[in-house]
Chains A and B, each alone.
Chain A
Amino acid sequence: MALLDIRNVSRRFGDLKALDDVSLSIEAGEFFTLVGPSGCGKTTLLRIIAGFDDPDGGDLLLDGQSLAGMPPEKRPVHTVFQSYALFPHLTVAQNVAFPLQMAGKSESEIRSRVKETLELVHLTDKARQFPHELSGGQRQRVALARSLINNPRLLLLDEPLAALDARLRVQIQGELIALQREVGITFVFVTHSQEEALALSHRIAVMNEGRIVQIGAPEQIYSSPKNRFVADFIGTINLLSVDVREATSDHLRLHAAGLGEITSVPASGVAAGQRGAFALRPEQVNVVAPGDFQELDNHFHGTVRDHLYLGDVTLYKIALDNGVVLEALLTNSLPGCVRFLERGDPVGVGWRREAGVFLHD
């Protein structure tokens, strides 16, 4: 049995369908992420799980028990708010002790649990300080400690890293993964950042316009996006408009207008005559000397239009003969071998048939 079962949940705000028949199961111990652009319904879903909002239709089951009509204070579900919402008049220790006091624990138990939990988030020396005396990263850890201390069945995190600077964000991501593994509590994480979703999660649900578009492991979502929206939202991707010329058990033969044929691996449910897009990640595109295509099943001629040097990698924009621009990502791992391609250089681009996926419209 799943820990949390979301069944056909819908929520409208006036004419807007914030959630449209959403069903989802979250397993115990999972780090589950809801990702999508702003307004996709992910925060609404989180508030419904926490109990701050009620669905217009559908039901939520936690451990098989319906949560309908149960107020937030009664749910064994805690939230880490985007603003952290630390109590400004209470010290770090008093903030962290709050949920235990609400649960009516004894003074001695509260004292020892607060000590343990502050150790867990490395804030023992800040116990007597007030939130305004802490840095952003420390406040974030207090918020985590406060939400974790009485072992909720489910921890909801509402864009908790949004307020931190980039460096700290990466550091806290690492801490979050370690923390979740250590405490074993199920995390439901909401973010609009696909990088965070990929880096943190066991499973990801990609949401758009109130619906769940695709659910899967990060590598699944990244390598086999279900449609144009997911392909475009998660990572960067090249999309070529194609129609299917031939679909056999051995291969797919696609035709890109003005460009030519593309050979790809077979995919279920694809038939000749379908129209769609061929999606190819920039790191799957090889850039070679013109004509030197080796074993690349698909290859085209092009010209370097632009390059973006990022230190570890360089992103090249290569204009193909029909005007389509492909992005190719090359690692700069061997300094001696890197020959920077200049704007206007003629190059060959190609990829193996295993690379890329066909997404039909």
Chain B
Amino acid sequence: MDSGDDIAIGKARRGDRDAFRVLVERHAKAVFRLAYRMTASENDAEDMVQETFLRAWKQIGKFDGRASFATWLHRICANCSLDLIRARRRRQSLYQPPDDEGVDPFEKVPAASPSPERLAQSSQISAILVPALRELSEMERAAFVMRHYEGMGIEEISVALGVQPGAAKHSVFRAVQKLRRVLEPVMSASR
């Protein structure tokens, strides 16, 4: 019900919390899905959903309607997730944490080379894919997740990430190249 967002956005911009609540309830699941792809952690994804909507409330006066509200939220969510990933990488470079706390969840998934039979299950695919996604730059990861999993077009991704369409296209392309390098041997082995 995207067209219905206009009414709620208008009211929320005037400080109407009820209208903003409607937007939260409409978009929370979609934001969660993006946040999960970005962070690979359910707990982090839920935190990112909250952070996204808090930032959205603070910035709703700046929402100009050029992109859809969903795209605008995706942009905020991608930036929140990237901030989290960057902060964790910084902390990791400063300290070696004794446990999982403060570690990029992508780092927690062990790189594996399972047999083609095992790859039939999605959990095993994740065991290869998630570490491969970890190797991507933040921009590549965000652009690939938006393109492949969220079905967003290059133009939309460029708006969401605040970059030129050419840069968004190249980020997607570089991500695909890197992922193919990991996935190609698996495909060959499964034949």
A associates with B: no
Q: Which B residues have a C-beta under 8 Å from some C-beta of A?
A: none
